Structure 1
Amino acid sequence: MGNNLLSGKRGIIFGALNDMSIAWKVAERAVEEGAIITLSNTALAVRMGTVAELGKNLNAEIIPADATKVEDLEMVFAQSQDILGGKIDFVLHSIGMSPNVRKKRAYDDLDYNLLQSTLDISAISFHKMMQVAKKMDAINEWGSIVALSYVAAQRTLFGYNDMADAKAMLESIARSFGYIYGREKNVRVNTISQSPTLTTAGSGIKGFDGLMDFADRMAPLGNATADECANYCIVMFSDLTRKVTMQNLYHDGGFASMGMSLKAMNQYNKSFENEFKDENGHIIYG
């Protein structure tokens, strides 16, 4: 049951692929809270995913577009304003992909052409999105733009690879563009650093199951789910957060502030229960 937090607002949700997507959950919650929206993803993602089902359920038109192409983004913002009947009030950037991760390239053996693709898709697209919107004057005053990030922008986490570089750039873009957009148009720009979440993209990261389990043991509140992230996004889109901008907001159950938790320490100690030493004092693991 919604609380009409987004009543009368218009939004664009980039990145919904299937019902595992955070963007999918955000789209559902936005409409539940009274917004009208359009959905956008690449033409390939629209064909391969189930976003058509989401569009039908939410009465939301789908605009296939490549977010790395300025002309495609211009088309999304122009069509969205026509479809929704006015300027946009909120935008979600939920776009991320690393060809190096998909090809299992180690961080010290990156393909640099693929690295450029990672940065363009996962971070530079965010800058392009806002630059297009600003030049078109497509966002209403006090509008809200949110991109999804991850703590690997600040911490080294095994297996996250060059996506960590992309998230660091994403957060920097939010600060730099957020200052300009806020100063000139009263539009706020933030990133949400979400817990590791089982999505189609996330499942491709090496050791992702272990990463999720570790984060859940470390975070005092446990991992934040996709549904909970959607709730947070709704608050950031709403008028309740009008003066919040240029922030990277951790939504991870407290993980980002932890060093060692009791659960993680217990698991660590348990790993030594079957430890034995040979006659020379060398550790033998059972």
Structure 2
Amino acid sequence: MAYNLLKGKKGIIFGALNPDSIAWKVAERAYEEGATFTLTNTSVALRMGETAQLAEKTNSTLIAADATNVADLENLVKQSMEILGGKIDFVLHSIGMSPNVRKGRHYSDLDYNYLEKTLDISAISFHKVMQVCRKMDAINEWGSVIALSYVAAQRTFYGYNDMADAKALLESIARSFGYIYGRERNVRVNTVSQSPTQTTAGAGVKGMDRLMDFGERMSPLGNATGDECADYCITLFSDLTRKVTMQNLFHDGGFSSMGMSMRALEQYEKGLECDCDTDNGSCDHKFD
């Protein structure tokens, strides 16, 4: 059901690759709620993904841009304002990638060149996007900027690797830039900490299927789906949340407030019958 929450609003959505992408789902909901926007991703992602279909469905324009490249971002923002007819009202940053995860490097044995890429793509790009928008005065007063995060920024999760560091940096950037953007131009900046979600990017995290099962057992309301995350993002783009800024907002069915649930405990007790013996080296993940 549509409520016209974004009627007349304009934006830029980063990261829609295929229908599994949260950015894809946000774009669909934003269109249903009356928004117009441009879609952006790297040139390679636009060639390999299905974003052109989304652009056709939402009557949007595709603009190739590397979010780590300031010149690309300047061109993206300039073109977006020309296409949309003025300043924008919202930005979604749904970007994350770790070469260390993709290459199977353990957190205790990171490739530091890969780590720099992880941080640049997954977190520093968020700062670059906002810095470019601020310098170009591209966002209307009471606009809203959102980046997608995960609870691994606060807690340790097996297999999440250096993406946890990136998410922690991402949330810090939201607070630091949120203060500046808020005081100067009443622009809101928040991160949404989503449940583990089966996306193309998420599939690279070791043990994602088990992580999702654990989240489902721990959360009183169960894992939040990508579609539900899109609904939440729409409310944050809307005028209904004008005084929400500099927050990391957990959208995870209550997982982040849990210590142990009965469902998770019962599963754990079943697993005790075949406990992993790390002393004799039989466990493949002794140090994970």
Give TM-score, length-normalised by structure 1: 0.95
CA distance in structure 2 between the aligned counterparts of 1:242 and 1:217, rounded to whole angstroms: 34
The aligned residue for residue 71 of structure 1 is 71
CA distance in structure 1 between the aligned counterparts of 2:21 and 2:271, rounded to whole angstroms: 34
The aligned residue for residue 256 of structure 1 is 256
CA distance in structure 1 between the aligned counterparts of 2:22 and 2:40, rounded to whole angstroms: 14
Per-residue CA deviations over 1:115-135 (Å, capped at 9, x if unaligned) read 000000000000000000000
Q: Does 1:148 find its partner at 2:113? A: no
The aligned residue for residue 231 of structure 1 is 231
Alignment of 1:255-274 (within 5 A): 255-273=255-273
CA distance in structure 2 between the aligned counterparts of 1:273 and 1:204, rounded to whole angstroms: 30
Give 2:32's aligned amino acid. E
State the secondary structure of the residue aligned to 2:34.
Answer: coil
CA distance in structure 1 between the aligned counterparts of 2:36 and 2:86, rounded to whole angstroms: 11
CA distance in structure 1 between the aligned counterparts of 2:265 and 2:227, rounded to whole angstroms: 29
- CA RMSD in angstroms comes to 0.8
The aligned residue for residue 32 of structure 2 is 32
The aligned residue for residue 181 of structure 2 is 181
The aligned residue for residue 56 of structure 1 is 56
Give 1:52's aligned amino acid. A
Per-residue CA deviations over 1:176-215 (Å, capped at 9, x if unaligned) read 0000000001000000000000000000111110001001
CA distance in structure 2 between the aligned counterparts of 1:84 and 1:274, rounded to whole angstroms: 59
Per-residue CA deviations over 1:152-175 (Å, capped at 9, x if unaligned) read 000000000000000000000000
Per-residue CA deviations over 1:191-247 (Å, capped at 9, x if unaligned) read 000000000000011111000100110000000000000000000000000000000
Runs of 4+, deviation exceeding 3 Å = 272-275
- In structure 2, the CA distance between the partners of 1:136 and 1:223, relative to structure 1 (3 Å rule), is same
- In structure 2, the CA distance between the partners of 1:12 and 1:274, relative to structure 1 (3 Å rule), is closer
The aligned residue for residue 161 of structure 2 is 161
Aligned length: 275
CA distance in structure 2 between the aligned counterparts of 1:80 and 1:34, rounded to whole angstroms: 17
Per-residue CA deviations over 1:77-110 (Å, capped at 9, x if unaligned) read 1100100111000000000000000000000000
Q: Does 1:202 find its partner at 2:207? A: no
State the secondary structure of the residue aligned to 1:250.
Answer: strand
State the secondary structure of the residue aligned to 2:178.
Answer: helix
The aligned residue for residue 103 of structure 1 is 103
Deviation at 1:147, TM superposition (A): 0.2
Give 2:102's aligned amino acid. R
| Sequence identity (%) | 74
State the secondary structure of the residue aligned to 1:145.
Answer: strand
State the secondary structure of the residue aligned to 1:63.
Answer: strand
The aligned residue for residue 278 of structure 2 is none
Give 1:4's aligned amino acid. N
Deviation at 1:274, TM superposition (A): 6.5
- Rg larger in structure: 1
CA distance in structure 1 between the aligned counterparts of 2:208 and 2:2, rounded to whole angstroms: 33
CA distance in structure 1 between the aligned counterparts of 2:244 and 2:97, rounded to whole angstroms: 28
The aligned residue for residue 136 of structure 1 is 136
